[in-house]
Every structure is written in structure tokens, then in C-alpha cells.
Amino acid sequence: MTGAVVPDGAAAQALSAVQHENNVMISKRKIMQKPLAVEAVNLDKHVSSNGNALVILSGLDLAIAAGERIAIVGSSGSGKSTLLGLLAGLDNPTQGKVLIQGQDIAPLDEDGRAALRARCMGFVFQSFQLLPTLTALENVMLPLQDAKSQAIAALERVGLAHRLSHYPRHLSGGEQQRVAIARAFAPRPAILFADEPTGNLDAATGENIIELLFALNAESGTTLVLVTHDLTLANRCGRVLSLQQGRIVELEGVA
Ligand SMILES: Nc1ncnc2c1ncn2[C@@H]1O[C@H](COP(=O)(O)OP(=O)(O)O)[C@@H](O)[C@H]1O
Ligand SMILES: [Mg+2]
């Protein structure tokens, strides 16, 4: 008889390594031959909470090709917002690195990151982050270097043509969310990160926003990275990634 007999422990270890490799291969096969828009390598994020170390992300790897539509799902507190902030260079990892369009962002200072974001990223915060002293129109004009007509067109596309001169405090949560979305997509970024973009919207408005985001993806090749609780939205993305125990698990056969 030929073939080596592998002891149980080593066999289990080998099997686990093979499964890991398989997962990596599945991800790579899907995105092969396209340039990467976003990559995270062995990302850790630890914070200190009441004197205790809290591990939010641990050994997280992620690769997103240009033009992909990605949904990131996971239970509340699983680290989705933390991950999105790290990918956009708004926060620093404890360890590991993030590459945007192949560029390692670690050596960039605040100004360098802001310039990179202005050049190729849009970000919709879960908490909107509108500037309270600016109107809806002025908020959307911020990243556009005063291109008023472009800002108005963006607000029209989210159904807020009648709210241009409203301040955030005079807008409902859903309206503020739509201003935040308009601000993020108006400059036509190559990569759009959105944290629960339909979280405050009714079903019909949410559907319009999803169609708008998908149209950007189809027309301009915008890479969409959407954190969502909405399984209908997740299922309409090209890939669904689940954040579990600080790592990404690719959900197969969901899309
Ligand atoms: N700066 C911080 N200090 C302490 N705990 C934090 C900090 N940032 C996030 N957390 C905690 O880390 C976990 C992940 O947060 P978050 O990324 O907001 O999760 P999600 O977006 O998936 O709900 C949560 O339990 C949150 O309370
Ligand atoms: Mg969150």
C-alpha cells in the first residue's frame, strides 16, 4: 500500500489549513484579473475600554476588486463600523495594513489621507456627520469645490430638491441620511463606503437609494462597500461578507 498515514492531530491541522486556503482561493478566484480597490491585510483593532483591552478585529483579511458590490453584515457590535473607518483611513489599525487602489495608506499623514479620500472615496457615516451650521445644499457642496449645480443634482436624485436650504436640525433622520448619501456620491468617487445607508429610511425610500447606489456602480463602476442589516439589500450585492469574531467570513451562495 502506498501513501503516508497521517496522525489525527496533524490531519486535523492540515485539513483546517486546506479549508483556510480554500476560503482564500474562493475569494481570490472571484476577484482575479481585476485591480483591487480595497485590501486589508492581517488587520487587528484593539481598544481600551474601562481599563480592559477589547479586541474588535483580529487577523482580518479582505480584498475587494474595483467595481464590486460588497455587503458587510454582522451582529450589532461585531465591528462593522470600525472596519469601515479603518478601510477609509479614518482610524488607525493596531496592526496590519490597508491598501487603497494598491497604495498602503499607513505612511500617509492626515492631510495625505484627506487628499486620498477626496480623490477617490465617498463615505456615508452611520451617524450622518452633517455639519450643523451648513444647509443641506452647503453640506453636499463641501467636497465639490463649490459646484452648486452638481450638488443640487445630487440632492434631486435623493428626492430632496425641496430641502436645499434646510439645516440638518430641521431635517428628519431619513432626510439627513439622504443628504449624507448625496454628499458622498456627488463627487462620483471610485469607492463608496456606506454604513447602514438605508437604516433610517422607509422601505420605498430605501429602495430608491439602493437603486441609486447600484446605478452608480453600473454606470461609473463605483466600488460599493455597504454595511447593512438589510438582507434584501445584502442579497443584491455581488458578495456578502459576514463579520464574525473579528474576521471576515465569506457567505457562499447568498448572492
Ligand atoms: N473607541 C472605542 N472604545 C471602546 N469600545 C469601542 C470603541 N469603538 C468601538 N467599540 C466597541 O467595539 C465594538 C464594535 O463596534 P462597532 O464597530 O461600532 O460595531 P458595529 O458597527 O458592528 O455595530 C462594540 O462593542 C463597540 O462598543
Ligand atoms: Mg455600526
**Interatomic CA distance for residues 110 and 144, integer angstroms:** 20
Give the pLDDT confidence of 105-128 residue by residue, as tens digits: 999 999 999 999 999 999 999 999
Ligand 2 centroid vs 194 CA: distance in angstroms? 10
How large is the average pLDDT for residues 167-193? Answer: 96
Q: Where are the domains of the chain?
A: 8-251
Instruction: Choose among 110, 30, 112: nearest CA to 65.
Output: 30
pTM: 0.86
Ligand 1 centroid vs 153 CA: distance in angstroms? 35
**Interatomic CA distance for residues 72 and 40, integer angstroms:** 14
Contact (Cβ atoms closer than 8 angstroms) between residue 225 and residue 196: no
The torsion angles phi and psi of 170, rounded to 5 degrees, stand at -100, 10
Q: What ligand has the least distance to the C-alpha of 244?
A: 1
Q: Which CATH number fits domain 8-251: 1.10.10.10, 3.10.129.10, 3.40.50.300, 1.10.10.60?
A: 3.40.50.300
Contact (Cβ atoms closer than 8 angstroms) between residue 178 and residue 159: yes
Cell of 80: 462593522
**Interatomic CA distance for residues 41 and 226, integer angstroms:** 19
- State whether the beta carbon of 54 lies less than 6 angstroms from ligand 1: yes
Ligand 1 atom with the smallest distance to the CA of 83 is 17
CA 169 to chain centre: 26
Give the pLDDT confidence of 33-66 residue by residue, as tens digits: 689 999 999 999 999 988 999 999 999 999 999 9
Contact (Cβ atoms closer than 8 angstroms) between residue 68 and residue 31: yes
Ligand 1 centroid vs 8 CA: distance in angstroms? 39
